[in-house]
């Protein structure tokens, strides 16, 4: 791989655009990323589960904190899915 400009790279003769992730997102962007309401996002920010900063009248969400939150949330979903699978396998909730 060779870099030919700040946002492009050549791999096996194919030039592609590189994506640089944002360092901060707005509340609206964060809500879309997490697939939840802006109100819920604000609650997460208020509780400190996701880091943010205030700039003027806009609250900006820190990308790294948002990514860590989403990865942890995905891990939790996988654990719950495994628990449900095991419960079904063992017939713990059969009538």
Alpha-carbon gap, residue 61 to 30, rounded angstroms: 7
pLDDT 10s digits, 24-61? 999 999 999 999 999 999 999 999 999 999 999 999 99
Q: Where are the beta strands (DSSP E) in 14-69?
A: 14-17, 24-25, 52-55, 58-62
User: Would you place residue 4 in the very low, low, confident or very high pLDDT band (cuts 50, 70, 90)?
Assistant: very low
Average pLDDT in the 51-76 region? 93
Edge-to-edge order in the sheet of strand 24-25: 24-25, 58-62, 52-55
Q: How far apart are CA 61 and CA 23, in angstroms?
A: 8
pTM of model > 0.75:
no
Residue 20 or 76, more confident: 76
CATH architecture for segment(s) 23-90: Orthogonal Bundle (1.10)
| Cα–Cα distance for residue pair 64/23, rounded to 1 Å | 7
Higher pLDDT, 10 or 83: 83
Structural domain boundaries of the chain?
23-90
Per-residue model confidence (pLDDT) at position 51: 96
């Amino acid at each position: 791989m060779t870099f030919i400009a700040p946002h492009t790279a050549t791999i096996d003769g194919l030039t592609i655009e590189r994506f640089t992730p944002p360092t901060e997102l707005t509340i609206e962007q964060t809500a879309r990323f997490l697939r939840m309401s802006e109100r819920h996002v604000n609650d997460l920010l208020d509780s400190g589960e996701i880091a943010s900063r205030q700039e003027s009248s806009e609250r900006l969400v820190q990308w790294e904190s948002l990514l860590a939150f989403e990865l942890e949330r995905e891990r939790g979903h996988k654990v719950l899915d495994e628990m449900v699978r095991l419960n079904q396998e063992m017939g713990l909730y059969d009538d």
